[in-house]
Structure 1
Amino acid sequence: MRQRQPAVYIMASKRNGTLYTGVTSNLPRRVWQHREGAGGFSERYDCRLLVWFEMHGTMELAIVREKQIKAGSRAKKLKLIETENPLWRDLWPDIIDGAE
């Protein structure tokens, strides 16, 4: 995975815990910031696990998708995560291996 590519992602505090949905142009860097507790929501609610992400061709498409996910219910977010990551595995190692 190249580093500079728009992505929508979901961070979690734990399985079925607090969720944070975001958009970025550099997924490895942004997830690292969440993991390091670089202020804001993710630090306050300990959202340090990357549990879902989706790459996009343009930032405009990523922003539309982020808004769609944020407008959805918690149940829809949980289904999205559990469809692709049923064990709620931290996907951080996957994006780091691909970024090097």
Structure 2
Amino acid sequence: METKHHYETADVALTKLQEMGYTIDFNIAFEEIFSQAENYQIDYLYRYEGPSNPDDESTVYGISNQSNGKKGVFVAGNLSLIEGKKRDILLNLEMKHKNRDKR
């Protein structure tokens, strides 16, 4: 599936993704991605930037596991504020799918 970029509010993005079966909250259940990151991909990417304040920035990821079909969401504010392995995994997933979309 091609990564899609939509620029809407985070609330609208979460509602749309839930309607499409992205029901796991990976902000809570990130350990599953952590242990099997190679099986996950970003299907949908919603970015929202406030009109004047960079602090209003948020990203909603629609993420799926290619081996077992599980789907969920991860919501991040400024990705540079996320520390450690979680940030590295998200950045790697973004890079992997940016490269995939170029093919």
- What TM-score results when the alignment is normalised by the length of structure 2? 0.26
Bigger CA radius of gyration:
2
- What TM-score results when the alignment is normalised by the length of structure 1? 0.27
